[in-house]
Structure 1
Amino acid sequence: MIRYLFILLVLSFASVSCYRAEAENDQPKNPLDVPFGDPYVLYDKASDKYYMYGTGGVDNGFMVYSSNDLKDWKKEGTAYSNDQENAWGTKDFWAPEVYAHKGKYYMFYSSHWKDNPNNELENYRIGVAEADSPLGPFIDRSSGPIFDPGYPIIDANLYFADNGKIYLYYSRCCYKHAVDSEISTWAKEKGMYDEIEESWIYGVELASDFSRVVGEPVLLLRPPVSLDDKQSEWESRSVTSGEVNRRWSEGSYLFKEGDTYYMMYSANYFGGENYAVGYATATHPLGPFEKSANNPILQKNTQDGGIVTGTGHNSLVKDRNGATWCVYHGRTNKTGDQRLAFIDRITLDESGNLRVEGPTVELKD
Structure 2
Amino acid sequence: MSVQPAHNAASDVQNPQEGHRLADMPVHDPFVLADSSSDTYYLYSGAAPRLNGVDRHGVLVYKSKDLEEWEGPYVVFAIPDDSWADPQHGAWAPEVHAYNGRYYLFVTLHNEGRPLEGDPVQGYAKHWRGTATAVSDSPEGPFELLNLESPVVPSEQMTLDGTLYLDEEGRPWMVYCHEWVQTLDGTIEAVRLSDDLSSAVGEPILLLSGSAAPWLRSATASESEQSVPSVSDEPPVYVTDGCQLYRTSDGSLNMLWSSYEDGSYVQTIARSASGKLEGPWEQLDPLVKEDSGHGMFFRTFDGEWRLILHRPFKMPESRGYLYPIKDLGDRFGLAE
Confirm or deny a common fold (TM above 0.5).
yes
TM-score interval, normalised by the smaller of the two chains:
0.7 to 0.9
Matched, 1:72 2:69: yes
CA–CA separation in structure 1 for the residues paired with 2:103 and 2:198: 15
CA–CA separation in structure 2 for the residues paired with 1:234 and 1:74: 40
> 1:117 Cα deviation (Å)?
5.5
Q: Tell me the equivalent position of 1:284.
A: 276
Matched, 1:340 2:319: yes
Unaligned runs of 5+ in 2: 1-19, 118-124, 221-225
> 1:160 Cα deviation (Å)?
1.9
Amino acid at match of 1:111: L
Q: Tell me the equivalent position of 1:123.
A: 128
CA–CA separation in structure 2 for the residues paired with 1:49 and 1:71: 12
> Which one has the largest radius of gyration?
1
Residue among 297, 305, 316 paired with 1:316: 297
> 1:36 Cα deviation (Å)?
1.0
- Structure 1 stretch displaced more, 247-256 or 48-57: 48-57
Q: 1:241 to 1:357 in 2, by over 3 A?
A: farther
Please state whether the residue corresponding to 1:107 is helix, strand or coil.
Answer: strand
**CA-atom RMSD in angstroms:** 3.0
Q: Tell me the equivalent position of 1:224.
A: 211
Q: Tell me the equivalent position of 1:213.
A: 200
Q: 1:131 to 1:41 in 2, by over 3 A?
A: same
Q: Superposition pairs for residues 257-276 of structure 1, below 5 Å? A: 257=248, 258-268=250-260, 274-276=264-266
Q: Tell me the equivalent position of 1:203.
A: 190
Q: Superposition pairs for residues 175-194 of structure 1, below 5 Å? A: 175-177=181-183
Q: 1:164 to 1:289 in 2, by over 3 A?
A: same
> 1:166 Cα deviation (Å)?
1.3
> 1:152 Cα deviation (Å)?
0.4
Matched, 1:299 2:289: yes
Are the aligned partners of 1:331 and 1:337 in contact in 2 as well (CA < 8 Å)? Answer: no
Are the aligned partners of 1:54 and 1:62 in contact in 2 as well (CA < 8 Å)? Answer: yes
Amino acid at match of 2:43: M
Q: 1:299 to 1:225 in 2, by over 3 A?
A: closer
> 1:234 Cα deviation (Å)?
5.1
Q: Tell me the equivalent position of 1:102.
A: 100
Q: 1:136 to 1:97 in 2, by over 3 A?
A: same
CA–CA separation in structure 2 for the residues paired with 1:84 and 1:357: 45
Q: Tell me the equivalent position of 1:163.
A: 169
Please state whether the residue corresponding to 2:180 is helix, strand or coil.
Answer: coil
Which string of whole-angstrom CA distances, capped at 9 and with x for unpartnered residues, describes residues 257-292 of structure 1? 2231101110118xx961011111111112221112
Unaligned runs of 5+ in 1: 1-28, 178-196, 301-309, 359-365
> 1:114 Cα deviation (Å)?
7.1
CA–CA separation in structure 2 for the residues paired with 1:237 and 1:117: 26
Please state whether the residue corresponding to 1:130 is helix, strand or coil.
Answer: strand
Which string of whole-angstrom CA distances, capped at 9 and with x for unpartnered residues, describes residues 213-238 of structure 1? 22211111212369xx4552259574
Q: Superposition pairs for residues 85-96 of structure 1, below 5 Å? A: 85-86=82-83, 88-90=85-87, 91-96=89-94
Amino acid at match of 1:233: S
CA–CA separation in structure 2 for the residues paired with 1:298 and 1:170: 21
CA–CA separation in structure 1 for the residues paired with 2:266 and 2:130: 24
Which string of whole-angstrom CA distances, capped at 9 and with x for unpartnered residues, describes residues 3-23 of structure 1? xxxxxxxxxxxxxxxxxxxxx
> 1:162 Cα deviation (Å)?
3.8
> 1:146 Cα deviation (Å)?
1.8
Amino acid at match of 1:140: L
TM-score in terms of structure 1 length: 0.72
Please state whether the residue corresponding to 2:29 is helix, strand or coil.
Answer: strand
Amino acid at match of 1:132: D
Please state whether the residue corresponding to 1:224 is helix, strand or coil.
Answer: helix
> 1:337 Cα deviation (Å)?
5.8
Amino acid at match of 1:355: G
